[in-house]
Amino acid sequence: MTKLPFFFLLLLLPLISAEIKTLKITSDSRPMILFERFGFTHTGQATISVSAVSVVSAVTNPDPSRLGFFLLSEESLIQVLIELQSNPSFCVLDSKYINRLFNFRNLSPAPHSSFNHSYPITSPNEYSLFFANCAPESAVSMNVRTELYNLDDGGRTKDFLSAGLTQLPSLYFFFSVLYFAFFAFWISICLKNRKSVHRIHLLMGVLVIVKTLNLLFAAEDKHYVKVTGTPHGWDVLFYIFQFIRVVLLFTVIILIGTGWSFLKPFLQEKEKKVLMIVIPLQVLANVASVVIGETGPFIKDWVTWNQVFLLVDIICCCAIIFPIVWSIRSLRETSKTDGKAARNLAKLTLFRQFYIVVIGYLYFTRIVVFALRTIAAYKYQWVANAAEEIASLAFYAVIFYMFRPVEKNEYFVLDEEDEEAAELALRDEEFEL
């Protein structure tokens, strides 16, 4: 693996919410290993412990000064890229733009071969913690423990969340309360309109409560990481409910898009196939998400898992659009023969609005939120998370309002007064996709 593509990829990686991590590296010959990316304040500290270090070289005894750890700021990353581009054989440990921590000359003598030290961060910034191996044809094995944190309350407490993510526990808890209120309101609407409640409305209610629990467990997960450096098992509950929530969300969008339980009590074969494709893909996407979140970038296949997650997410986002398009076209064809122009126009308008809302939601959460994470200063990374949750809440509110259980749902309303105007509107090509 060359160094340049690796550094270019680093520019696109999201900020990592560091926690206390104990990692085992075995016979790794990569020239660069990224461990963490963390936003430090002026009270930041980096504690690194290595033990059971061994270096095997196919050439000669490697120079221990050619292997070591360093911190690299976001601004200095560009300068290091220029150095590597002008000289591909350049060792990054010789760069004047890095913050050297230690190299293997600082290790205690064999057989212990260990090192443990804390480094104060004198210049607040976002830094990436790297290990560099500039020894030719050599492989490294070692146990590494990292603690990256900021000191609060006059240096009395440690905050293991990055400077831009320390607000996440409060943010997620706030939104979990909003979703719980949303769920209570949805239940009250369903109870008031019991005769108009369909199975899809019950599924939508389940989606909201799962989203509520997902945010609550996310808040607990981030809180324990912030205070203790470890999630204390809350990450397991978070991943479980995240998986259920994402599968339910895509399923609800597909079922609404097909008109299931509103227009018809069954799914056609092609619609079933979409569900059978999307759900297994979401299983794969969530496996990738767990690997990305729990292992960190130090594993060899971390980049591959990021690519898998991105590809699967794009496929799923495209797949859920098809049922909506099919329903719009089917309704348009039906409108030419059944003589119920006003009713069909209402249905088409509703589906067209639904199509626009889904496209807007997917675009915002996949493109705009990513852009916010990329351009926001490291201290304001939480803004991207807040924007994503606000967009999600707005999406839920709009969709639930459009398809709420009411006695005269737009699916069934008949307005004979505007029948002629509706027929003219249906001849227009604005509903063609």
pLDDT > 50? residue 414: no
Residue range 157-215, pLDDT digits in tens: 999 999 999 999 999 999 999 999 999 999 999 999 988 888 899 999 999 999 999 99
Q: What is the mean pLDDT of residues 47-64?
A: 88
The residues near 117 (Cβ < 8 Å, ≥ 6 apart) are 47, 48, 101, 102
Q: How confident is the model at residue 418 (pLDDT cuts 50, 70, 90)?
A: very low
Residue range 264-279, pLDDT digits in tens: 666 677 777 887 888 8
pLDDT > 50? residue 431: no
Residues 328, 348 contacting (CB under 8 angstroms): yes
Q: What is the mean pLDDT of residues 115-136?
A: 92
Residue range 306-348, pLDDT digits in tens: 778 888 888 888 888 888 888 777 777 766 555 555 566 677 7
The residues near 184 (Cβ < 8 Å, ≥ 6 apart) are none
pLDDT > 50? residue 412: no
Rounded to an integer, what distance in angstroms lies between the CA atom of residue 181 and that of residue 127?
39
More confident residue, 131 or 292: 131
Rounded to an integer, what distance in angstroms lies between the CA atom of residue 140 and that of residue 91?
17
Residue range 356-390, pLDDT digits in tens: 899 999 889 888 988 898 888 889 999 999 999 99
Rounded to an integer, what distance in angstroms lies between the CA atom of residue 147 and that of residue 296?
14
Q: What is the mean pLDDT of residues 27-40?
A: 89
Residue range 71-107, pLDDT digits in tens: 999 888 888 888 888 887 889 999 999 999 999 999 9
